[in-house]
A and B are shown apart, each in its own frame.
Chain A
Amino acid sequence: MPFADRAIELSMLAAYLAVLLWIGIRSARQVQSSGDYTLAGRDVPWVVVLATTAASMIGGGASVGMVSQVCQFGIVAAVVTCAWHLQLIFTGLFVAPKLRGLNLITVGDYFHLKFGPLARELAVVNCVIFLVGALAAQMAAIGTVTNTVLGVPYGMALLIGATVTIFYSTVGGIRAVVSTDVLQFVILVIGIGTASMLLVSSHGGFAAMQAAASEGHFQITSHWSAMELFSLFFAFMLGETFVPPYAVRCFIAKDKQHAKWGVAGGGVFLLLFLPIATFILGTSAQINPEVQAAIENEQQQLLDEAADTGKALTEEDAQKQAYQVAFPTLVRVTFHPVFAGVMIAAIIAAVMSSADSCLSCLATVVMEDAYRRHIDPLATDKHLLRVAQASTLILGSTGAVCAWYFSNVADILVFVYDFWAPTMVLPFIIAVFWYHESRVYAVVASMIVGAIAAIVWRFGLDSPGDVGPALFGFAAALLAFIVALPLTSSLRRGWLFCPCSDSSEKDPT
């Protein structure tokens, strides 16, 4: 790549990072209480909730990852991502108003309110596992994406990206996270939208693209079986349902209606906007000879490096990794360097906006579910604010250190998703649609059985028969609930299973 083009790309990225730091400092002035820091004062309008939800949704996997998948497998990869957006619409329409109406602070509060203290602690453990894993994965993605896109060494990219993210999240809390998310959302929409429009026009429309693409690229299932497509669609849908970053978007909205239309609107917008845009980008990458040459070159380099270092790397794995260069290469070979710089900033924005959401949620869980509940229930608001800020700093740095040692983003994310769905999705569904105090024991039993089943299926049996641990664990949790319900519905409940809440009294806003 010419030096001038690289200089333009790096300056665009530097300017973008400087704006993020400025937003962090500006947001810090608005933070007066722990409620401002963790819930943005609960005054976020629906359109901003929509933008921050969408920005959190589009991470490294939904941008660079999905474009490379479409390039490799065809339209099926874009179709599967609809599962993410559909679960957001569902959450927004049916769950968000209920969560917002209760004035809660964390997911643990909701479980306490519905199923008692034991369910709360189980939910908190699940939230921590999910958020720590997702934070480490997104931190690692900052390093790998910047390394792939700009050629900056992984360690250096991780250090710069993580420092900026931790800084603005620590000083400005969720206010800074929401503000930076809006900026990241605007960059993403302008970047991806303009790129997809220019690419369709330059190729001469979809008919010309179809003629140039490989066989099966435009078929709805491509080369996959219907069962394979269904399993993956279901796994995508379950893995992200009701996860803490989306729950927080419900808590920070102005009121129930703003929560409902903000989260559901985010899902509708992404469903309309993202699958077709990623399909255009992935297809353009597939039919561009320069991109194909770059992928082959990258694959050869990976295989040569593996041979030199003695690392075990199959040709299939090398090909999968090599496809990650499809999006950045396409941007570089197709557009003017300035627009390519905007697009590259958009890619990095996508990853950073997902990392900051996880970090902010994790700090709230530590402040509310650990510190206030177990360490100092009488802590003043100022003290809690300091705890939340210190937690953000410490946890963010720990996430970056984890990302330094475990750079395989996909593996971390798969583990996190496998553990979330079996334990948390069914209790949420029951709490929202079929709640009764007599079902508390059965729900707690389903959480415990779901977690054990997923762990045994994944680590003990190594996921036989291509059935994922998330799907198996969810089925086991459902079965445990059905079996336990008639046996436990008439039992007298101990204090650990007694639904109660003091959330309305402790609302920091």
Chain B
Amino acid sequence: MIPVWLLTTLHYISMGSGVAILVLLVWQPLSSSFALMRRVR
């Protein structure tokens, strides 16, 4: 039987990884745009 605390921890990790990847997906094009703007200046 899988302990409840383990499932709860795994669920928090799962949600954290979901949020992290969505933030990364937004950050990636933004950081490229910032880098391009710096180069243009």
Contact = CB atoms under 8 A, between A and B. Distances in A.
Interface of A: 45, 47-48, 50-51, 75, 182, 185-186, 189-190, 193, 196-197, 200, 205-207, 210, 218-220, 269, 272-273, 276-277, 279-280
Interface in B1-41: 1-2, 4, 7-8, 10-11, 13-15, 17-19, 21-22, 24-25, 28, 32
Contacts of A75: 2
A173 to B, nearest CB: 20
Contacts, number: 62
Contacts of A182: 25
A contacts with B: majority SS? helix
B4 A276 contact: no
B29 to A, nearest CB: 9
B8 A206 contact: yes
A70 to B, nearest CB: 13
A195 to B, nearest CB: 11
A49 to B, nearest CB: 11
Contact of B25 (A47, A200, A218, A277): A47
B10 A276 contact: yes
Interface of B: 1-2, 4, 7-8, 10-11, 13-15, 17-19, 21-22, 24-25, 28, 32
Given A206-B4, A206-B8, A276 B14 contact: yes
B15 A197 contact: yes
A47 B24 contact: yes
A219 B3 CA distance: 10
Contacts of A189: 18, 21-22
A68 to B, nearest CB: 20
Nearest to A219: B1
Contacts of B1: 218-220
